[in-house]
Amino acid sequence: MTALIITDIRKSNSARGLDLITAVIYSADNYESNFILSLDKRSFNGFLVLERSTAEKEIPEIGVRKGDQFIRIWANQGHGLSIGSEIRLDGLSA
């Protein structure tokens, strides 16, 4: 099981009707963590992954600390998520 926590939500400047969401991976077995970080321009659970990375430095404006593994995703506005919300993903596979 992989758990992500939402650290930032803002309206997308480039895609109308979408929010840009940052989520930090805080709990994952090694396989699922590597799978999440391998996602690029792919969808999962209705989200489109735009970026995945390990932070080389702190990025306080999006709630990411140095060393955090994080993803940035687009989601339709009205997704019901808020900062601090948790997303749990079970049984991921390629």
Q: What pLDDT sits at residue 94? A: 38
Helices and strands (H and E) in the chain: how many: 1, 6
Q: What pLDDT sits at residue 51? A: 84
Q: What pLDDT sits at residue 93? A: 43
Ranges of each domain in the chain? 2-80
pTM, full prediction: 0.77
Residues 6+ apart with CB under 8 A from 32: 1, 2, 89, 92
Amino acid at 71: I
Query: Each residue's pLDDT tens digit in the chain (94 positions)?
Result: 678 899 999 998 888 889 999 999 887 665 555 556 555 555 656 678 888 888 999 999 999 999 998 989 888 888 889 999 998 766 544 3
